[in-house]
Structure 1
Amino acid sequence: MPDRDSSIRAVERAIVLLRALNQLPVSTLDGLHQLTSLPKPTLVRLLRTFEELGLVARGGRPGEYRLLDGVNALNSGYHHVPRVVEVAAPLVRELTERIKWPIAVAMLDVDALVVRYSTIPYSPLSLLHSSINMRLSLVSRALGRAYLAFCSREEQAMLLELVRQSPHPEDQIAQDRGAVLAMLEQTRARGYALRDGAVRPVSGTIAVPVMAKEFVAASIGITWFSSALSVEQIVDRHLDQLLDVSRKISEQL
């Protein structure tokens, strides 16, 4: 357990540092320390590793660092974002045309789920004009919970550590580790996720994961007016349809 926890912390710190480096063309050691709150010796060790891997180069002055094009190799073989959207779009659009409620397709972006596709333009029953690129909490939003509950235990642990560092109000429930783990176990057991009732109570979202073999590739979710239908009614009427769409997407990935 200590070795695994140490490995998770190392990966977490590397991700945090990469995100900080990506914010500016040239970063300083002092600036990275302020952005990440990581100890300077830790930053130096990580930066040296990144240099050896061809991801980072030293700047023109001491203590300066910049990302190299080699960082693009981290996603050069990963085509799930456009592929998931390409496969999911016609399927979720067809479902929205039948049930009228809008459906979102969201994917992981470091410490949150980001909406990559939405059927809001095809729905007469939406509270929003658009949800594209909206960031959704992993622990409060249904789409985030669906991802977090069904990903591997190792990935789940790493993501929870990241979310615990988030200052966003919707992420604060991650501080109660026991409650969050119980919620995720309940979500996994019933096969679908629900949004925290305290977040935007005017509507609700039910979400399920989309699997690519043993990995979670995305989450898809239906949003409805809380005044129109209860959770029980949504589950009874539309859960099987949502799960069917999820299976169809998975089969094509």
Structure 2
Amino acid sequence: MRAEGFVRKGEKDGQYYLTFAVRSLSEGLVDDAWVEQVALPLMRSAVPELLWPCDLGTVEGGFMVVRESTHRFSRLSQHRGMIGEKLPIFFTAIGRAYLAACSKEERDGLLMLLAQRDDAIGALARDMDAIKQLIATTRERGYGISEGDWDQQAPFGAVAVPLKCGRRLIGGLNLIFPKSAVAEEELLNRYVPRLKKLALRMGRNIAPWFD
């Protein structure tokens, strides 16, 4: 299965993870080669510049799903095994960045899907005033941000930007760090511009996969 690309070796001996190639078994062939061939090399080369770990996520089933990550390469990472992790759109930086960047049609579809839930996600999806405010604030900033708003990752902050190939929205890139470790000025002046540069370069390089 590893040779066929359905599993990948984890960070620890004897540890393996399913890859997104398994989706082709039930949903038809999906070309995800750009993640391994373009996104991963660019993300890995950006580690010395970004320092903090970075995740690439795409939307699936109303969540941002981590497709690739530099947690295993960054010395500052406090997470492991993030690939495949489902991140709630409303409460994470990468989800907010994606929501603010997607088309009205896609956004309406996401909200309709999430509004069927009977938890905090569903309640927020039905609160259109709160959603509009979240989108407006994110667009005004020019990036998504979370200050531990997701209970599961309360000690950590994150910033994120959308990943686009031309006008096509592909996903998002985030940067994760302990909330107390990065000052706001450093975040805005150092890390956000570098993350945007990575997203721009990646968007250009993946163009052949989305023509």
Name the one with the larger helix percent. Answer: 1
Q: Letter of the aligned partner of 2:115 in structure 1? A: R
Note the 1:86-235 alignment, pairs <5 A. 86-170=37-121, 172-195=123-146, 197-199=148-150, 200-235=153-188
**Structure 1 Cα separation of the partners of residues 120 and 81 of structure 2:** 22
RMSD: 2.1
Deviations 1:221-252 (A, max 9, x none): 00011111133421221111111111101111
| 2:33 equivalent among 58, 67, 82 | 82
Report deviation, 1:152: 0.7
Q: Deviations over 1:87-123 (max 9, x none)?
A: 1111111222333200000011121110010101111
Could you say which residue in structure 1 is the equivalent of 2:200? Answer: 247
TM superposition shift of 1:170: 4.8
Distance 2:145 2:139 in 1: 11
TM-score of the aligned structures, taking structure 2 as reference length: 0.77
Deviation digits for residues 129-171 of structure 1, max 9, x if unmatched?
Answer: 2211000111111111111110111111111111122245455
Q: Deviations over 1:180-200 (max 9, x none)?
A: 111112212321001254323
- SS in structure 2 opposite 1:126? coil
Would the aligned equivalents of 1:105 and 1:115 in 2 still touch at CA under 8 Å?
yes
Identity %: 28
Query: Residue in 2 aligned with 1:22?
Result: none
Quote how far apart the aligned CAs of 1:85 are: 4.3
Q: Could you list the runs of 4 or more consecutive aligned residues of structure 1 that deviate by over 4 angstroms after TM superposition?
A: none
Relative contact order, higher structure (CA 8 A, sep 6+): 2
- Unaligned stretches of 5+ in structure 2? 1-23, 207-211
- Give the TM-score of the pair, scaled to structure 1: 0.65
Alpha-carbon distance in 2 for matches of 1:168, 1:122: 35
The code of the aligned residue for 1:181 comes to: K
Please tell me the residue identity of whatever aligns with 2:178: F
Structure 1 stretches lacking a partner, 5+ long: 1-68
Mapped to 2, the partners of 1:167 and 1:230 lie a distance apart of 36
Shift in CA distance, 235/204, structure 1 to aligned 2, threshold 3 Å: same
Number of equivalenced pairs: 180
1:25-83 Cα shifts (integer Å, max 9, x gaps): xxxxxxxxxxxxxxxxxxxxxxxxxxxxxxxxxxxxxxxxxxxx9x74xx54x53x331
Structure 1 Cα separation of the partners of residues 101 and 149 of structure 2 = 23
Q: Residues of 2 paired with 1:168 and 1:133: CA distance?
A: 22
Q: Secondary structure of 2:65's partner?
A: strand
